[in-house]
Chains A and B, each alone.
Chain A
């Protein structure tokens, strides 16, 4: 198998994994039923892993395709824009923080998780009045931190344990 084919296969595998995690998340009961957009962000485990072991391009590809596919499978058009805004903000921030090298993968994941939640709510902001917004923001930040720590620990484990051979073509 040549390198290109292997890259495509690997990326596809990661997207499939992210989708499975997104599906698991759909099955789990919502953390805060009253507030849409509060999720564990389990697919982010894959994104964080890719960010460290494979680089930004693959991470961005998987992130984007995940949002598209999750919308097609479980979501609706409105949710697509929320997810896209959240996903993009989260990814850009994590790329930046990864480069700055001030945080561990857990910290990067926490920042990404909070950015994801906040990005979603900023998109939906027009629907909320101001006092609610403060409350939503607080809940989204705290839940983003908790989820981010969990996701980051899972990601850090993968970053450490997954053998190099599986990711790059025997380089």
Chain B
């Protein structure tokens, strides 16, 4: 293999992979805003809440205990208080981009931003 060819190949492949990485980064940075959040507890759908309305939701487990307080304000969703020992969910920054999520592993709560057109039509707004 000629040296010039090898260098050309490496430049080409490296450049293409770089372009792919940039495209991927753009997908995440320019990701569109979602219009609602979907809450699941233990994998079961708990509720879907529109981001357009300010609301406070106490996410309760089956035994009625309020474990995580979800607050939607100014089109963003965040966990305000939580009973979990790690407090990771409460420390998470407010989410609003399509696909972003806050996970509370100890309480098995997942909050994900969705858009109506992504198939999960928020027709069960509580």
Do A and B pair up? The answer is: yes
Majority SS at the chain B contact face:
helix
> What chain A residues lie within 8 Å of B16 (beta carbons)?
110, 114, 141, 144-145
> What chain B residues lie within 8 Å of A131 (beta carbons)?
27, 30-32, 98
B1 contacts partner chain A, Cβ-Cβ < 8 Å: yes
Total interface residues on A, CB under 8 Å, equals 21
With A102-B5, A141-B17, A145-B17 in contact, do A135 and B24 touch (Cβ < 8 Å)? Answer: yes
Residue of A nearest to B1 (CB): A104
Q: Are B20 and A102 in contact (CB under 8 A)?
A: no
> What chain B residues lie within 8 Å of A134 (beta carbons)?
23-24, 26-27, 30
In whole angstroms, how far apart are the Cα atoms of A106 and B1 in the complex? 10
In whole angstroms, how far apart are the Cα atoms of A112 and B98 in the complex? 34
A124 contacts partner chain B, Cβ-Cβ < 8 Å: no
What is the CB-to-nearest-CB distance from A152 to chain B, in angstroms, rounded to a whole number?
Answer: 9
Q: Are B19 and A104 in contact (CB under 8 A)?
A: no
Q: How large is the interface on B (under 10, 10 to 19, 20 to 34, 35 or more residues)?
A: 20 to 34
With A102-B4, A102-B5, A142-B17 in contact, do A110 and B12 touch (Cβ < 8 Å)? Answer: yes
A103 contacts partner chain B, Cβ-Cβ < 8 Å: yes
A94 contacts partner chain B, Cβ-Cβ < 8 Å: no
What is the CB-to-nearest-CB distance from A81 to chain B, in angstroms, rounded to a whole number?
Answer: 24
Residue of B nearest to A106 (CB): B9
A68 contacts partner chain B, Cβ-Cβ < 8 Å: no
In whole angstroms, how far apart are the Cα atoms of A50 and B47 in the complex? 60
In whole angstroms, how far apart are the Cα atoms of A142 and B32 in the complex? 24
B21 contacts partner chain A, Cβ-Cβ < 8 Å: yes
B124 contacts partner chain A, Cβ-Cβ < 8 Å: no
What is the CB-to-nearest-CB distance from B116 to chain A, in angstroms, rounded to a whole number?
Answer: 14
What is the CB-to-nearest-CB distance from B60 to chain A, in angstroms, rounded to a whole number?
Answer: 34
Q: Please provide the 7 A-B residue pairs with the shortest distance between their CB atoms, ordered closest to farther.
A: A107-B9, A104-B5, A138-B23, A102-B8, A141-B20, A103-B8, A138-B20
List 17 contacting pairs A-B, 8 Å CB cutoff, sorted by A: A101-B5, A102-B4, A103-B5, A104-B1, A104-B5, A107-B8, A107-B9, A107-B13, A131-B98, A134-B23, A134-B27, A134-B30, A135-B24, A138-B24, A141-B20, A141-B23, A149-B13
Interface residues of chain B, those whose CB is within 8 Å of chain A, are 1-2, 4-6, 8-9, 12-13, 16-17, 19-21, 23-24, 26-27, 30-32, 98
Known pairs A103-B9, A134-B27. 5 more at Cβ < 8 A?
Answer: A104-B5, A106-B9, A137-B19, A138-B20, A142-B17
